[in-house]
Chains A and B, each alone.
Chain A
């Protein structure tokens, strides 16, 4: 016992001291050596990046090698068949649904085609000549009024031109008066022609005297040039129309193009037969349906153009241009049956392309169906109703509307009754201006009276640009209780262009967007540039198209939404000429070069409940190109 006690006493402090020393040493070590405390990378950032890149590349190579090895793996025949069938079944179900939808569109368009072509078939000689009459009347009035002005105010500018124009006109009209039915106009032309003839010597003498003054007076030269341009332009229009009047043959106007063969009915068990089809077969069936739909739609659209623009049906057919759907799938490229994983993947990708093609065809079919239904005055899903106005009504409607759109009936024109009818809301087309019914007879016998009625329709005539620019707000959705009243401008458009227009500001050569608006379509435009629709949103009333070029044509497309059927006043302004369709009805045409003016003209129009389409064509002559479209409730305008 005694011998061990001192030993214990000694050991404990020693142990404590040693342990304290060790701990202190460890602390010192920890404090003095950074590496124990701080985790630090010795490489620079560039080194790390390089290492990272190398690692990524190694990973990629590894993955690529694995993929190649996997791709080479051969499939057993029964596995391949099973996988192939699985992949097909996955896609076939959706494709069959699309095909059934397309068949519905085909059926609707078949009915629309029947309605539209029936209308054209019974277009009469009177219908056609009446249309010409409607176009000629305001033009000849302009010419005659200018001749009378010359006489009254001794305004000699462009006197020789007026004289030549009236001589030409007088000769042609006298040659074919029975085709025009415009005795009062003919009399006025003859009178004015007499005036210009009797005063020719006087004009020439005065013009000779004024020659020197012309050179000195730039303002007068400009004015005379402008008048000369207007007279020439009017004369050209009249001459063109008269040539058409002299040449038209009713049979040619109404005949179907020889190559047109309307698609026949489908087999009764067509829908059932889809169930057993493979994906390539479904793709082929969709392509067949798409061709039928395109043919039917072309017929519907051509008939619409023929009636609304008084064109021969075959010519109207030429003007219709449906963008061809892009086909990515080719059945020959499918490895069938797939033998390796790589071939199975290629098979899958091929089926995906087929599905995408069918989707695109379905989308275009929907688009054509919607437009075709609107044209034929049918409501979607409710079967064919037709416009319900008869052929005479259709011709009369088209003639009046064409003049109203061109502004020949005044700066403010109410075209809303025609638009309500166009969408099948009313059974017969009704009233303009003072509420008088327009009948075929009244159109033929009393254009002047009718146009007076239209002119009397009340609406705005002038707008203060400054006030409108200050107050107008952007808007595309409208409801009755909207706090915003007054003028609203459309700020959001899809715009496409330029197309070459050869410095013509007419609208005689319809371009593809007039047939069908396909926001994904690509076209070859001016200078062989590929052009496509571009989204354009502006905080300015004036919209400028992209790639603004002289001598070019552009289109703008937008949609507006109304909670309930509504009438609105539309103010269109453009630099230079513009043509506007609302729900496929032309409501505005402004020909010739003219600067942008906010109150160029007004139309009272009808918008359907829901979404309404607006298409605008703008022709640019020299320098700038701009357009605007404003809307205002009639009570606030």
Chain B
């Protein structure tokens, strides 16, 4: 009495096709997930250098305010006006008072503009404010 199993004895072995499928799927998943572009919130500025700055892990759980050398202001990477910045910061202060604010300031930015933004954050209850400095691991000149 012959069974189907006996008939297929020659084909026995590790089925590689599903394994390859799974490996390829995993590969594609990682490729796609790592290639999803994060919103670029950095602006084209020359950061100041500091020897005493504390190194922190890059994080997306913060808001980025940028000020370029001409004193133009950016919020989350997009150019904005002072009036709009007031509105944005007020909203953030009400909704997320403990959130971190990262200040990206060009080394040639007028000081009064930096003080103005720092004062605006403080007035709206945002005290967790850090100033980003040049870091050779994350920045390229």
Give residues 126-168 of A contacting B (CB, 8 Å). none
CA distance A128 to B87 in the complex (A): 39
User: Interface size of B by Cβ–Cβ distance < 8 Å?
Assistant: 14
The segment from A74-82, A206-214, A359-367 that touches chain B is A359-367
Q: Is the CB of A363 within 8 A of B119?
A: no
Which chain A residues lie closer than 8 Å to B115 at the CB level?
535, 537
**B82 A519 Cβ-Cβ under 8 A:** yes
B residues in contact with A367, CB < 8 Å: 83
Could you tell me if A363 and B123 are in contact, using CB atoms closer than 8 angstroms?
no
Is there contact, CB below 8 Å, between A520 and B81?
yes
Whether A87 sits at the interface, judged by CB under 8 Å, is: no
Contact residues in A for B82 (Cβ distance below 8 Å): 519-520, 533
Decide if A107 is an interface residue (CB 8 Å cutoff).
no
Q: How many A-B residue pairs have CB under 8 A?
A: 34
Whether the Cβ atoms of B123 and A519 lie closer than 8 Å is: no
Alpha-carbon distance A366/B90, docked complex (angstroms): 13
Asked, given contacts A363-B81, A520-B81, A535-B115, whether A477 binds B86 with beta carbons under 8 Å apart, the answer is no
Residues of B within 8 A of A356 (CB): 79
Asked if A611 contacts B116 (CB within 8 A), the reply is no
Q: A360-B81, A535-B112, A535-B115 are known contacts. Are A476 and B123 too (CB-CB below 8 A)?
A: yes
Residues B123 and A366 in contact, CB atoms below 8 Å apart: no
Closest Cβ of chain A: how far from B9's Cβ, in Å?
54
Q: How would you classify the secondary structure of chain B's contact residues: helix, strand, loop or mixed?
A: helix
CB-based contact A537/B83 at 8 Å? no
Determine the distance from Cα of A477 to Cα of B79 in the docked complex, in whole angstroms: 29
Q: Do A519 and B83 form a contact, CB below 8 Å, given A537-B119, A559-B123?
A: yes
Q: Which of A360, A366, A535 is packed against the most chain B CB atoms within 10 Å?
A: A535
* B residues near A360, Cβ cutoff 8 Å: 81, 84
Most buried by A among B79, B84, B86, B112: B84
The docked-state distance in angstroms from the alpha carbon of A337 to that of B84 is: 33
Q: Is the CB–CB distance between B116 and A519 below 8 Å?
A: no
The answer to whether A611 touches B81, judged by C-beta atoms less than 8 angstroms apart, is: no
Size of chain A's interface in residues, with CB distance under 8 A? 18
B98 to chain A, nearest CB (A): 17
Interface of A is mostly: mixed
A195 to chain B, nearest CB (A): 58
Contact residues, A496-536 vs B (CB, 8 A): 518-520, 533, 535
Most buried by A among B83, B86, B87, B115: B83
CA distance A533 to B119 in the complex (A): 16
Report the separation of the CA atoms of residues A520 and B90 in the bound assembly, to the nearest whole angstrom: 17
Given contacts A360-B81, A559-B123, contact A535 B87 (CB under 8 A): no
Whether the pair B86, A519 counts as a contact (CB closer than 8 A) is yes
Chain A contacts for B119, CB-based, 8 A: 492, 535, 537
Q: How far is the CB of B93 from chain A (nearest CB, A)?
A: 10
* B88 closest partner in A (C-beta): A363
CB contact between B123 and one of A518, A520, A561 (< 8 Å): that residue:
A561
* Bound: A367/B84 CA distance, A: 10
Q: For residues 84 through 132 of chain B, which have their beta carbon under 8 Å from a beta carbon of chain A?
A: 84, 86-87, 90, 112-113, 115-116, 119, 123
Q: Give 5 closest A-B pairs by Cβ, nearest first.
A: A535-B116, A520-B81, A519-B82, A519-B83, A363-B84
Known contacts A363-B84, A520-B83, A533-B82, then 11 further A-B pairs from the complex at CB < 8 Å, ordered by chain A residue: A356-B79, A360-B84, A363-B81, A366-B87, A367-B83, A518-B83, A519-B81, A519-B82, A520-B81, A535-B116, A535-B119
Name 11 interchain pairs, CB-CB below 8 A, sorted by A.
A360-B81, A363-B81, A363-B84, A367-B83, A492-B123, A518-B83, A519-B83, A520-B81, A520-B82, A535-B113, A561-B123
Chain A contacts to B: CB under 8 angstroms: 356, 359-360, 363, 366-367, 476-477, 492, 518-520, 533, 535, 537, 559, 561, 611
Q: Which residues of B contact A (CB under 8 A)?
A: 79, 81-84, 86-87, 90, 112-113, 115-116, 119, 123
